[in-house]
Amino acid sequence: MIKRKQLLVALTIAGSDSGGGAGIQADLKTFAALGVHGASAIACLTAQNPKRVLGVEPCSPKMLLRQIEAVFEELPPAAVKTGMLFSAENISVVANFFKKKNCPIVVDPVFISTSGTKLLEPKAIAKLKRQLLPLATLVTPNLSEAEILSGQKISSIEEMRAAAKKIHSQFGCAVLVKGGHLKNSAGAVDVFFDGRTELLLSAPFVKGIRTHGTGCVYSAAVCAALALGNNLPQAVQIGKKFVTAAISHSYKIGNHFALGSR
């Protein structure tokens, strides 16, 4: 009798990227590369490519809930990540569901696309802060998102550290402030803080590569690492190593670069 390998499950609740470089598609590729089975609940559809977002349409709250329930019914995840949720109603659906569950949740607070398109309704920001972040194990804002969550400007590593501590104090979750867009920085430095442990995660910039979906891949890698049983400081270090390697091994598609999956 053939012995089948048992895989742990990670769930992504996010938006679909028709270009395949970010969102649900990037998350599932990352889960597979790290050896976990990826399940998904699509919170919204996007018409996008690596250059721009042409349109966004949210999933109905009822259908989003059905997707999450279907996964938990037969494939209970060892860890979950949320990405683009878009609407206040869908944030409430996710938050209300996970009030009754006990599993690690990585929240990637997707506010705006690289091309400048708003990916979270303005009224949804308050819901994210009030309902979802207090349930999160980790929140992974980039610099602009960390400025919104902390209410302060960030232009240095010291200000990243201060913002991480303020976000943790306000919402109670661990924080990973991603500094890839920090100006005048010698490398890509991220700050992790969970109330006890602070880590400065650094990697050299990969020159000449402008990639799409790095935030999705980073948070998905952390989620996969948690699903595999790593503690949170270990998981963020695995995530940093994975996304750095993905950028280094990026490949050309059309006139753009896509992140490598290993």
Q: Cα(48)–Cα(61) distance, rounded to whole angstroms?
A: 22
Respond yes or no: is residue 215 known to be catalytic: yes
239 tagged catalytic: no
CA distances from 42 to 11, 59, 64, 202 (A): 11, 7, 7, 32
Residue type, 26: A
The single residue of 81, 127, 178, 240 carrying the catalytic annotation is: 178
As given in the structure block, the two tokens for residue 121 are 């309704």
- Cα(234)–Cα(131) distance, rounded to whole angstroms? 27
- Looking at 82, 137, 211, 244, which residue is catalytic? 211
Q: Which of 15, 23, 213, 239 is catalytic?
A: 213
List the catalytic residue out of 44, 59, 173, 216. 216
| 214 part of the active site | yes
Residue 203: which H helix or E strand, with range?
strand 198-204
The one catalytic residue in 215, 239, 240, 244 is 215
Largest CA distance in the chain: 61
Backbone torsion region of residue 226, taken as left when φ is above 0, otherwise alpha when ψ lies between -120 and 50, otherwise beta: alpha
Any catalytic annotation for residue 153?
A: no
Q: Which of 46, 137, 214, 244 is catalytic?
A: 214
- Residue 211: exposure state from Cβ atoms within 10 A (0-12, 13-18, ≥19): buried
Catalytic center residues: 178, 211, 213-216
